[in-house]
Amino acid sequence: MNEDSTYYQKSVLVTGCSSGMGRSIALFLAQHGFLVFATVRKEKDFNSLKDIDEKNLVPVFPLDLTIQEHIPNVLEIVKKELAARNIKGLYSVINNAGGGFIAPIELMDIGKFRTELETRILGPVALLQAFLPLIREAHGRILWIATPSLIPIPYVSSIHACDFAQNCLARTLQIELGPWKIPNILIRCGGMDTPSPAKNALELENSMKEWPKERLNLYKEALIKNQESLSKFDKKRTDPKKAAETVFKALCAKNPKSRYQVGHLSKSAAFFECLPQALVDHIMSGR
Ligand SMILES: NC(=O)c1ccc[n+]([C@@H]2O[C@H](COP(=O)([O-])OP(=O)(O)OC[C@H]3O[C@@H](n4cnc5c(N)ncnc54)[C@H](OP(=O)(O)O)[C@@H]3O)[C@@H](O)[C@H]2O)c1
């Protein structure tokens, strides 16, 4: 790499870099020449990223997207690091952080649903409000790690309600930020091999012990069937490095597409989305 202080290095901020796709994307981009601000919400994850000792990787802690007060400090860190390297603006914010859980809507924990909405929708909006002046300065682009398809999937509405809202935000921003040519790009991921499916399965197991028996019994058989088909799906999930490569492609493309598909069953899920809504609903009700 050119060490001249006038060298223009592109910088990106990735949220949720403790594991899974966020960590993979952050490492891949740093190893391929981007300056990467990798945000985490736990000190142990900050230390783990520091231990990698990758010169282009700047771990940033804490950023919990449910805590808006964390954002000004993150902005200060980013501005300071950019100034120290003589880099103008931030080329991209990559909205990746998220969680979600499995539950029928009738039994879902409203507190956990609120947390997910804050993490995937309100937090990213507040983050972008803070970072847009820097993105504008760099003539940058915004990336969203997204679902492969906008369809109603039973028992995961905490995730998919956010996916629908995220899609709305990204497409609306594409229009609102049009005058400054700041693309909003959806990286639509099929099944990716990350810790999240195992976390969700464990959380469901615990919830099933807590839900009132008579109401759980209404859904139990369907939930067990759902988990069985998910565990078959889990065996075919894609290495998150593929998502990182797709993000790299979207960042480097001169004229990026508005959406990229990657991961297990991503393309067929996208096709499913094109079917008439009544037909999709009918198919999903047979699951
Ligand atoms: N896996 C898939 O098949 C798939 C497919 C399509 C889209 N996605 C989306 O991809 C994103 C990454 O998922 P993943 O599969 O890589 O899961 P993951 O390994 O569980 O990573 C989720 C990341 O989000 C962070 N996070 C959670 N809540 C947060 C909050 N309130 N504030 C800041 N960070 C928070 C987690 O941090 P902690 O470690 O501190 O919890 C973790 O770093 C998610 O938005 C998910 O919806 C996943």
6 versus 285: the higher-pLDDT residue is 285
Question: Is domain 11-285 given the CATH code 3.40.50.720 in the classification?
Answer: yes
Using the mean position of ligand 1's atoms as its centre, give its distance from the Cα of residue 21 in Å. 7
* For range 259-264, the mean pLDDT: 97
Residue linked to tokens 């069937």: 225
CB of 24 within 6 A of ligand 1: the answer is: no
pLDDT at 3: 41
* For range 97-125, the mean pLDDT: 97
Does the pLDDT of residue 206 top 90, yes or no? yes
Domain range summary for the chain, segments of one domain joined by +: 11-285
CB of 62 within 6 A of ligand 1: the answer is: no
In which order are the strands placed within the sheet that holds 57-60?
Answer: 57-60, 35-39, 11-14, 92-95, 141-146, 184-189, 259-262
The mean of the pLDDT values for the chain is: 95
pTM across the whole model: 0.96
pLDDT at 287: 72
- CB hemisphere CA count around 18 (13 angstroms): 17
Q: Which helix (H) or strand (E) holds 22?
A: helix 20-31
For the segment 147-166, what is each residue's pLDDT rounded down to a tens digit?
A: 999 999 999 999 999 999 99
Choice from 39, 159, 192 to test ligand 1 binding pocket (greatest atom count within 8 A of CB): 192
Confidence of residue 167 (pLDDT cuts 50, 70, 90): very high
